[in-house]
Amino acid sequence: MKKDGKPILVVEDDVELCNAILATLHRAEYAPVGVVDLREAMFKVKNQRFSCVILDMRLRGSSGEDLVDFIRDRKDVPNNDTPILVISGFLDKAILEHIAKRIQGALVKPFEMTALLQMVEKHAK
């Protein structure tokens, strides 16, 4: 199935997992961009339009929650309505309650790449 090279931002500080996700998305004919920290992710979502964002909730020195708020609350971000798909080994109730209406899907680590790909195919616009 042709994906027309839809750009997808992958925000994951585990470089090995980030590379595995990028490789999976490349094989599925998406155009993924990987970043490993919040600062770089904020720069990317402010300066490039994405079909969806795949986001780890626990980043070194910061929280994925901050990126969700940045994307949804700022008017100068061209990704205000971009689907956000969360991946995390730790999805606690307080975080989920805060972001539940602001994200489109979530997977708990470890997850199967096929499950991630299905979620991307469902939500990438």
Whether 51 maps to a domain, the answer reads yes
| Residue 69 to residue 110: CA distance in whole angstroms | 25
Whether 1 maps to a domain, the answer reads no
How many domains, the chain? 1
Give the domain range for residue 49: 7-123
3-state secondary structure 50-79: CCEEEEECEECCEEHHHHHHHHHHCCCCCC
CATH number at residue 16: 3.40.50.2300
| Residue 49 to residue 103: CA distance in whole angstroms | 17
- pLDDT means per 10 residues in the chain (125 residues)? 80 97 96 96 97 93 91 94 92 77 92 96 93
Element (H, E) at 18: helix 15-27
How confident is the model at residue 1, as a pLDDT?
A: 41
- Which residue shows structure tokens 């980043």? 59
How confident is the model at residue 111, as a pLDDT?
A: 94
